[in-house]
Amino acid sequence: MSGTVLITGTTSGFGAAAARRFAGAGWKVVGTGRRQERLDEMRKELGDCFHGAAFDVTDEAATIAAIEALPAGFGEIDVLVNNAGLALGTKPVPATKLSDWKTMIETNVTGLVTITHHLIPKLIERRGVIVNLSSVASTWPYPGGNVYGGTKAFVRQFSLGLRSDLHGKGVRVTSIEPGLCESEFTLVRTGGDKEAYDKLYGGAHALQPEDIAETVFWVATQPPHVNVNALEIMPVTQSWAPFQVARD
């Protein structure tokens, strides 16, 4: 099976790895991201099967204009991978910035629903697939997760809700929920703090973007009668801790 996949946030991490995975299997890939130069590099790397569309998912007009302007051969989207998203900040409240919270909501929630809403008629027509990148933080709270976890819980529940709404239409929807993964994600979250990045990943044998790309590809290429509803994935080195109890 192959077709056309649109992946948001292809300029790094899961998105870049997923673009390589689909392209390597003969798919046409529409890669989106804010950084035109990274999209140009990917086009050089992957060749004619890749079309880069530079826009910010938080900009509704730019998102819709870019989708409407897809060149011949790239407009018939079979699979939408909603990967663009970010975490900002690791500190618990009150040491959090409202502007960071709003940016996470605008990107992880508003951006994701905007592009999804726009592509749903096409995905119904083509009996397509929607793969949403949520997180283990959608289910498991931790200090400093606050709004990030909230946005990812939205992504998980929105995915399940879409499944219900699209009942009988042959459209498949999956929520992928990765745990600790080594990527630019943590550099962004810590505001570029390389020391924090090294501390987090040192000896942790974290997931790699390729692990998640493989999962996204597997989910999207199941036979048409199979829907993977949700998939939570952690590195072996990550698990849960007991509840915390504050005492007098």
Site string for ligand 8X3, 112-141 (x = CB under 6 A): -----------------------xxx----
DSSP, residue by residue, 107-165? IIIIIHHHHHHHHHHHHHHTT-EEEEE--GGGTS--TT-HHHHHHHHHHHHHHHHHHHH
* Binding of residue 151 to ligand 8X3 (CB under 6 A): no
Query: Applying CB under 6 A, which of residues 62, 106, 179, 233 lies at the interface with ligand 8X3?
Result: 179
* Binding of residue 235 to ligand 8X3 (CB under 6 A): no
* Binding of residue 155 to ligand 8X3 (CB under 6 A): no
4 versus 8: smaller Cβ distance to ligand 8X3: 8
* Binding of residue 144 to ligand 8X3 (CB under 6 A): no
What interhelical angle do 13-24 and 209-220 show, nearest 10? 50
Rounded to whole angstroms, the Cα distance separating 19 from 5 reads 9
53 versus 137: smaller Cβ distance to ligand 8X3: 137
* Binding of residue 18 to ligand 8X3 (CB under 6 A): no
Helix H or strand E segment including 116 = helix 112-125
Give me the half-sphere count of Cα atoms (radius 13 Å) on the Cβ side of residue 162.
29
* Binding of residue 75 to ligand 8X3 (CB under 6 A): no
* Binding of residue 212 to ligand 8X3 (CB under 6 A): no
Rounded to whole angstroms, the Cα distance separating 155 from 173 reads 11
Site residues (vs ligand 8X3, CB under 6 A): 135-137, 178-180
